[in-house]
């Protein structure tokens, strides 16, 4: 994989600091080759980035340390003294990380050999290359929030892989599984609803099909509220039946491009030949309840023939507390299949079959757990970019994906989404995201001001959501 982040000479890069991104920010042919706006960072005291780095990330690290501590006897039972030693080592490494963070120490390179160690260390050098003499070193409260937050989760992974034989332990698995178990009622209601729709699907006319599609899209959107990193690892399961609240939640959708999604897929369905395919790619976010909402949507896309195959992308390592790994994906399908509720187990059996026959495909790629903005994907991970180009539509779930789509930069709220993507466009795409960070584009003039006045923390409490589409129909 080409590494475009060989550290350029130490100079302040005044143009786009991401080689490969479309640097022109102005509109039309008169585009001025100005760089994009600055990145969100902990430099802005009181900002959400600052508070995340100062308060929530140490809290997440402390919970990870507690989790390791609580598994001490399990490690001893499994591995004897070596297990106890390993637990101690991992805890000391995480405690060191927490101290570095809380005292704003320089960001240090990774030392443990792993598939992405080199590209991570190149990126750290790249961040260094953006600073001039008196800026000092890349560090927690100075460097881009996106970089230091991703770095923190990758350091947790390094601490674990440096502590064999517990080097495959997922410090977040307990809370991801707990989210699933605590959301059982909502999951049963959702699976029951899906089976009712699938049973009746042949009798649904186009407008009924569209209504169902919109319903399941909204459920997938609001499923994104269940995010453990926002709650600092505290439980955030889906306790209420989400389906009964869709109407009251509708005004909380700030950008609603669902019609574009319907037109695109319905046209594909009506115009494709017998043998041709319609592929929808879903870049997953959180495990637990949100993953169920995504699999229910994916099942509906196949059952309605709006799509003929679905490709999923998860994370290769534990990430942002709740993000889905292949283990979470397989575990959840097993759990759903093994349920003693008949419609839930029917869903699990169907989902397992979709995987077996290749109508659902799961992809792993290290790019999703790198710190890079998506506008450099075609350079940093051309294989992944080429894979995404095969899709007719890509759905990006969640807030972190939105931050990477827009580069986590201080865009004006009214900047068009297409412009903020800075050339990232493998295929028609849609962000399905609840707002948990201070970046939002594509709003109407005056729209942001309306929310700032009524709800000052509208950007970060996960209450509002978007369906933000980019690309030809």
Q: How far is the CB of 462 from ligand F6P (least distance, A)?
A: 8
Our finding on whether 403 is near ligand F6P (CB under 6 A) is yes
Q: 116, 212, 227, 294: which one contacts ligand F6P (CB under 6 A)? A: 227
Bond preceding residue 165 cis, omega within 30 of 0: yes
Contacts of 375 (CB under 8 A, 6+ apart): 18, 20, 21, 22, 407, 421, 422, 423, 424
For tokens 């397992």, the residue is 352
Question: Burial, 166: exposed, middle or buried (Cβ in 10 Å; 0-12, 13-18, 19+)?
Answer: buried
DSSP string, 332-385: HHHHHHT-SSHHHHHHHHHHHHHHHTTSEEEE--GGGGS---GGGHHHH-HHHH
Q: Kindly state the tokens that stand for 428.
A: 């028609």
How far apart CA 439 and CA 433 sit, in angstroms, is 12
Nearer to Mn ion, 269 or 463 (CB): 463
Q: 39, 52, 179, 237: which one contacts ligand F6P (CB under 6 A)? A: 52
Q: How far is the CB of 289 from Mn ion (least distance, A)?
A: 12
How far apart CA 260 and CA 270 sit, in angstroms, is 15
Our finding on whether 224 is near ligand F6P (CB under 6 A) is yes
Cβ count near 100 (within 10 Å): 17
Among ligand F6P, Mn ion, none, partner that 52 touches (CB below 5 to 8 angstroms by kind): ligand F6P
Edge to edge, the sheet with strand 429-434 lists: 253-256, 465-470, 429-434, 393-397, 279-283, 309-313, 360-363
Q: How far is the CB of 11 from Mn ion (least distance, A)?
A: 35
- Cβ pair 294, 228 in contact under 8 A: no
Cα dist from 278 to 247, 400, 439, whole Å: 30, 27, 32
- Binding pattern to ligand F6P, positions 255-274, x when CB under 6 A? --------------------
- Binding pattern to Mn ion, positions 301-340, x when CB under 5 A? -------------------x--x-----------------
Q: How far is the CB of 369 from Mn ion (least distance, A)?
A: 11
- Cβ pair 466, 441 in contact under 8 A: no
Nearer to Mn ion, 212 or 281 (CB): 281
Stretch that binds ligand F6P, among 121-129, 227-235, 265-273, 382-390 (CB under 6 A): 227-235
How far apart CA 323 and CA 317 sit, in angstroms, is 9
Among Mn ion, ligand F6P, none, partner that 404 touches (CB below 5 to 8 angstroms by kind): none
Q: Kindly state the tokens that stand for 287.
A: 């495990």
- At 230 the three-state DSSP class reads coil
Our finding on whether 325 is near ligand F6P (CB under 6 A) is no
Our finding on whether 402 is near Mn ion (CB under 5 A) is no
How far apart CA 112 and CA 292 sit, in angstroms, is 34
Cβ count near 466 (within 10 Å): 24
How far apart CA 348 and CA 352 sit, in angstroms, is 6
Nearer to ligand F6P, 5 or 320 (CB): 320
Q: 87, 116, 158, 285: which one contacts ligand F6P (CB under 6 A)? A: 285
Q: Kindly state the tokens that stand for 167.
A: 């080097």
- Dihedrals phi, psi of 44, to nearest 5 degrees: -85, 90
Q: 437, 443, 459, 466: which one contacts ligand F6P (CB under 6 A)? A: 437
Nearer to Mn ion, 176 or 425 (CB): 176
Number of residues that bind ligand F6P (CB under 6 A): 16
Our finding on whether 290 is near Mn ion (CB under 5 A) is no
Our finding on whether 236 is near Mn ion (CB under 5 A) is no
Our finding on whether 350 is near Mn ion (CB under 5 A) is no
Among ligand F6P, Mn ion, none, partner that 403 touches (CB below 5 to 8 angstroms by kind): ligand F6P
Q: How far is the CB of 402 from ligand F6P (least distance, A)?
A: 8
Nearer to ligand F6P, 285 or 373 (CB): 285
Q: 127, 286, 324, 325: which one contacts ligand F6P (CB under 6 A)? A: 286
Q: How far is the CB of 3 from ligand F6P (least distance, A)?
A: 25
Our finding on whether 282 is near ligand F6P (CB under 6 A) is no
Our finding on whether 175 is near ligand F6P (CB under 6 A) is no
Q: 186, 237, 286, 325: which one contacts Mn ion (CB under 5 A)? A: 286
Our finding on whether 294 is near ligand F6P (CB under 6 A) is no
- Cβ pair 314, 324 in contact under 8 A: yes
Bridge partners (DSSP) of residue 470 are 429
Our finding on whether 157 is near ligand F6P (CB under 6 A) is no
- Binding pattern to ligand F6P, positions 342-381, x when CB under 6 A? ----------------------------------------
Q: 320, 331, 374, 464: which one contacts ligand F6P (CB under 6 A)? A: 320
Number of residues that bind Mn ion (CB under 5 A): 5
Bridge partners (DSSP) of residue 409 are 39
Nearer to ligand F6P, 257 or 285 (CB): 285
Give the interface with ligand F6P as residue ranges (CB under 6 A).
52, 149, 224, 227, 229-230, 285-286, 320, 322, 398-400, 403, 436-437
């Amino acid at each position: 994989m080409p590494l475009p982040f060989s550290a350029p000479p130490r100079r302040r890069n005044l143009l786009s600091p991401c080689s490969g991104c479309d640097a022109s920010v102005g509109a039309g042919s008169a585009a001025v080759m100005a760089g994009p706006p600055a990145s969100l960072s902990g430099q802005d005291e009181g900002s959400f980035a600052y508070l995340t780095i100062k308060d929530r990330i140490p809290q997440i690290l402390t919970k990870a340390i507690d989790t390791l501590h609580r598994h001490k006897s399990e490690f001893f039972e499994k591995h004897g003294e070596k297990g106890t030693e390993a637990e101690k080592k991992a805890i000391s490494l995480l405690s060191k990380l927490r101290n570095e963070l809380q005292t704003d120490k320089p960001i240090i390179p990774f030392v443990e050999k792993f598939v992405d160690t080199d590209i991570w260390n190149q990126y750290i050098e790249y961040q260094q290359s953006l600073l001039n003499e008196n800026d000092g070193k890349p560090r927690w409260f100075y460097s881009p929030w996106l970089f230091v937050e991703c770095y923190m989760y990758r350091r947790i992974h390094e601490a674990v892989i440096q502590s064999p034989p517990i080097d495959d332990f997922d410090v977040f698995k307990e809370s991801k599984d707990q989210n699933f178990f605590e959301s059982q009622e909502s999951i049963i209601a959702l699976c029951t609803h899906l089976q009712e729709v699938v049973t009746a699907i042949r009798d649904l006319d186009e407008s009924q099909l569209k209504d169902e599609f919109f319903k399941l899209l909204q459920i997938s959107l609001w499923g994104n509220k269940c995010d453990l990193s926002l709650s600092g690892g505290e439980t955030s399961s889906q306790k209420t039946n989400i389906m009964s609240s869709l109407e009251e939640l509708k005004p909380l959708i700030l950008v609603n491009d669902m019609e574009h999604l319907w037109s695109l897929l319905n046209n594909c369905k009506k115009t494709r030949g017998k043998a041709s395919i319609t592929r929808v790619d879903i870049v997953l976010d959180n495990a637990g309840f949100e993953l169920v909402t995504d699999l229910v949507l994916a099942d509906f896309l196949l059952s309605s023939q709006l799509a003929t195959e679905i490709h999923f992308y998860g994370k290769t390592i534990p990430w942002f507390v709740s993000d889905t790994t292949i283990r979470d994906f397989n575990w959840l399908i097993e759990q759903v299949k093994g349920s003693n509720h008949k419609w839930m187990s029917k869903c699990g059996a169907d989902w397992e079959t979709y995987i077996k026959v290749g109508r659902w495909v799961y992809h792993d790629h290290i790019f999703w757990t790198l710190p890079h903005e998506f506008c450099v994907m075609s350079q940093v991970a051309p294989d992944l970019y080429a894979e995404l180009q095969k899709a007719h539509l890509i759905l990006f779930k969640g807030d972190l994906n939105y931050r990477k789509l827009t580069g986590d930069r201080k865009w004006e709220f009214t900047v068009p989404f297409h412009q903020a993507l800075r050339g990232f466009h493998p295929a028609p795409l849609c962000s399905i995201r609840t707002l948990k960070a201070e970046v939002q584009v594509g709003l109407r003039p005056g729209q942001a001001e309306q929310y700032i006045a009524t709800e000052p923390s509208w950007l970060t409490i996960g209450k509002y959501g978007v369906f933000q589409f980019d690309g030809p129909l």
